[in-house]
Amino acid sequence: MTSFICRRISSALKTNYTRFHTFKRHYSYEGDGKTTVTILNHEVDSPLMIDSYSRTGFRLNNGMSVVGPLALFPKSALGWDVSSAADITPESLSAFMILEPKIEILVIGVGDHGQQVSSETKKFIQKKGINLEILPTEHACTTFNFLNVEKRYVAAALIPPTFQKLGQNEEAVEARIKLKKERNIL
């Protein structure tokens, strides 16, 4: 009897071993032969995101350009009537306080590094139970995009920067322009 059981177990192990240990290789380019990449801010039903900013305003992922300061919500954008961080008051932020459902986080882009929002305004927002992020606009745009993609109840109040850091390509172009000007003057 024992030998019969051993042969049955041995036979079952051999059958299962070949069944479980034979495998087919799968490559990443099988199927239709293409790997797809989704760019979040180009999706049809994606929330509004900031594609770029400049000293004059903002370009959103839906192709809309906004000149000047911007009040940005997950699905809509409005012009915002402030010109500097000193103009950010409880009254200028009143549109953000009346939203339903109430926003969790308000991201304020103050323009350039070193700009401040008054302590009175900060206390006003905190009393309303809204978390507050005060950042230079460069970082505020990124923070808003990140939180919005995560489907958080977020809004942004953004002032365009007066100073904009140039990228490598822009620096090279500016250097060439400066060199051409020097050559024409000499």
For 38-49, the pLDDT digits (tens) are 444 445 567 889
Q: CA quadruple 85, 53, 168, 163: dihedral positive or negative?
A: negative
pLDDT in tens, 88-143: 999 999 888 888 888 999 999 998 888 889 999 999 999 999 999 999 999 999 99
Q: CA-to-CA distance for 66 and 160, rounded, in angstroms?
A: 10
CA gap 59, 68 in Å, rounded: 11
Task: Give residue 140's pLDDT.
Answer: 95
Handedness of CA 69, 71, 77, 78 (dihedral sign): negative
Say yes or no to pLDDT of 36 above 70: no
Q: Helix count (H) and strand count (E) of the chain? A: 5, 8
Bridge partners of 134?
Answer: 108
- Give CA–CA dist 152/130, Å, rounded: 12
Instruction: Identify whether the C-beta of residue 81 lies closer than 8 Å to the C-beta of residue 158.
Output: no
